[in-house]
Each structure stands twice: as structure tokens, then as C-alpha cells.
């Protein structure tokens, strides 16, 4: 009997060890690969540093719109930085919004060594909200891209100081995003689900955070009454139609969905750039400037 339990314990420990190793790519630090600044667009800005809600130093840019009390916080995607999202800045400044951009923990210029695809990054979002308020922002919106969209939705379920949220391509279920990424890397379909479970289990142990529960699909009902616009391409592999339907079923009149035919993950703005900016600005105008 003792031999049986000893063998079982060894098997369990080996399984967990494999899970921890598999989780490294999801949780590791991502170095800065794209070097730009608002100055490239002729915009005035201030480099800023502020703490996340759990004390990690984050680095970013504060780009003011003269005399405006309204601020949009940009939230970038996984393994990237704030730099690629600079292209949206002119439209927001012209519309009268201050913009706060920053690199998430364990990304780019910010401190920290572990990322989580949203769960821990909520602390970064909350830190950014506090910083924006210290800059005399009365109304605050979140503009999240992919992982940033997940973090925005999770933050909106926890923090009352958000007037509006846009999630562009934010995966609603992390297990789906991980398994589909594995398939993209040629992992057989019958293995991708198992490996995704092992990766998330290992990451949850490594981060001491339950990544299976930190999903917009789980907390979606808690986001109300904050207005939300979900933007997704109908060919986005990281979010399934049934997940979007479940998310919308949680709506209490606060969720809106813009689904674009032919667009893949984070490609809606490429299909019709002018319409994209128009819809995004109109949504914030309707829900922030009236707040």
C-alpha cells in the first residue's frame, strides 16, 4: 500500500513538473522589440512611471489633450508593448481625450518577471486608473487590444471607476486561446486541449492565481452596468461564436458586439480603418463625455 501511494505521488509530482515547464512561454518576461514614441507623431507627451495595485513599477506615456478631464487608457496585447498602438493616438487626441499608455508587467519598459494574460494585469489596469485620476481625470475609459481587452473586462468586473470599456479581440476563455494557439503551431487537435489544460494548470501554480476562473466568461455578469463594446472578427480563432453568445447572454443591457466578416484576430481595424476609428470614438463619446 505504501509503495502504491509513493508511486502515485511520484507520478503526480512529475505531471505537475511537466505542467510548470510547459507554462514558461505563457508566464515569461517579454523584452521590448518595438521602439517608438508619441514624438514620432509630433505629439507632446510625458514619460511616466507608476505602481500597479500590487506594487510593480510600470512605465508609460501620458499624452494630454489640452483642458480635457476625459482619459482613455490603452492596454496592449500579449508579448508586445504599447508602441504599435501609437497609430490610434491622433484620433483620440483630436476627439479631446487624454491618453495614458503603458507596458504591462513583464513587458517592454515595465518591471516584473511574470505575465498572466490578464489575471495579474488587472492590478496594472487599476494602477493606471489611479494614476489617471491623479492627473485630474474625471471620466476614464479602457481601450484594450487582445490580452489588454481581457484585462480591461476583468478590471471592469472589479473596479467601479471605469465609465466605458472596449475590448478589441480580447479572448473570452483563456483555455480556448491557448489550445487554438497550439493548433496554429501544428499541435494535433486531440492533444491541444490536454496541453492547454496542462499549461494553464502549470501557470496557475507558478503565479499562485487560478487562471481557469479569471476569464471574462466567468465574471461577465459582474461588469454591469459599465458599457462595453466587444470587437471581434468572425475568423478570430481565439474566441468562438458560442463564447461570444454566452458573453452576450450575461449582458444586462451594457454589452454591445461588433462582429466583422472576414476579419481574423485583431484585424477589424484593417478591414475599414476609418469606420473602426469612427465606431470607437463614437462609443466613448456616448459613454464618457456624458458621464
Q: What is the pLDDT of residues 219-247, one digit of tens each?
A: 999 999 999 999 999 999 999 999 999 99
Averaged pLDDT, 162-177: 97
Averaged pLDDT, 3-9: 82
H helix runs in the chain, sequence order: 2-22, 24-27, 89-94, 121-134, 147-156, 174-184, 189-207, 216-219, 241-249, 268-271, 273-287
CA atoms within 13 A on the CB side of 191: 7
Domains located in the chain, CATH noted: 1-27+177-208 (no CATH), 43-173+215-287 (3.40.50.1820)
Rounded to whole angstroms, how far apart are CA atoms 39 and 249?
Answer: 43
Average pLDDT score over the chain: 95
Note the Cα 16 to chain centre separation in Å: 27
Q: What is the pLDDT of residues 59-84, one digit of tens each?
A: 999 999 999 999 999 999 999 999 99
Residue bearing the bigger pLDDT, 6 or 201: 201
Q: What is the DSSP letter of 103?
A: P
Nearest to 201 by CA among 192, 213, 210: 210
pTM assigned to the model: 0.96
Q: What is the pLDDT of residue 1?
A: 57
The position carrying cell 487560478 is 210
- Using pLDDT thresholds of 50, 70 and 90, give the confidence band for residue 7: confident
Residue 87: strand, helix, or coil: helix
Q: What is the pLDDT of residues 70-119, one digit of tens each?
A: 999 999 999 999 999 999 999 999 999 999 999 999 999 999 999 999 99
The position carrying cell 505563457 is 26
Rounded to whole angstroms, how far apart are CA atoms 119 and 26?
Answer: 12
Task: Please report, rounded to a whole number, the percentage of residues in the chain having pLDDT higher than 70.
Answer: 99
Name the CA dihedral angle for 97, 100, 104, 105, rounded to a multiple of 10 degrees: -150
Amino acid at each position: 500500500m505504501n509503495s502504491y501511494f509513493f508511486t502515485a505521488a511520484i507520478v503526480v509530482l512529475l505531471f505537475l513538473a511537466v505542467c510548470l515547464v510547459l507554462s514558461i512561454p505563457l508566464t515569461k518576461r517579454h523584452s521590448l522589440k518595438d521602439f517608438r514614441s508619441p514624438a514620432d507623431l509630433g505629439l507632446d507627451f510625458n514619460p511616466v512611471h507608476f505602481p500597479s495595485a500590487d506594487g510593480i513599477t510600470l512605465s508609460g506615456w501620458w499624452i494630454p489633450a489640452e483642458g480635457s478631464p476625459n482619459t482613455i487608457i490603452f492596454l496592449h496585447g500579449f508579448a508586445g508593448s504599447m508602441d504599435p498602438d501609437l497609430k490610434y493616438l491622433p484620433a483620440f487626441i483630436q476627439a479631446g481625450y487624454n491618453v495614458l499608455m503603458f507596458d504591462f508587467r513583464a513587458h517592454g519598459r515595465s518591471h516584473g518577471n511574470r505575465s498572466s494574460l490578464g489575471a495579474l494585469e488587472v492590478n496594472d489596469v487599476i494602477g493606471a486608473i489611479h494614476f489617471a485620476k491623479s492627473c485630474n481625470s474625471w471620466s476614464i475609459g479602457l481601450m484594450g487590444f487582445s490580452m489588454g481587452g481581457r484585462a480591461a473586462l476583468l478590471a471592469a468586473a472589479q473596479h467601479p471607476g471605469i465609465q466605458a470599456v472596449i475590448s478589441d479581440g480580447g479572448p473570452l476563455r483563456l483555455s480556448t486561446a491557448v489550445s487554438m494557439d497550439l493548433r496554429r503551431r501544428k499541435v494535433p487537435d486531440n492533444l491541444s486541449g490536454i496541453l492547454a489544460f496542462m499549461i494553464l494548470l502549470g501557470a496557475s501554480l507558478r503565479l499562485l492565481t487560478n487562471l481557469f476562473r479569471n476569464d471574462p466568461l466567468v465574471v461577465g455578469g459582474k461588469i454591469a452596468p459599465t458599457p462595453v463594446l466587444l470587437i471581434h472578427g468572425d475568423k478570430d480563432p481565439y474566441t468562438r461564436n458560442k463564447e461570444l453568445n454566452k458573453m452576450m447572454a450575461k449582458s444586462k443591457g451594457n454589452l454591445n458586439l461588433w462582429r466583422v466578416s472576414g476579419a481574423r484576430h485583431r484585424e477589424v481595424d484593417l478591414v475599414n480603418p476609418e469606420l473602426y476609428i469612427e465606431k470607437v470614438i463614437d462609443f466613448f463619446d456616448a459613454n464618457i463625455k456624458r458621464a
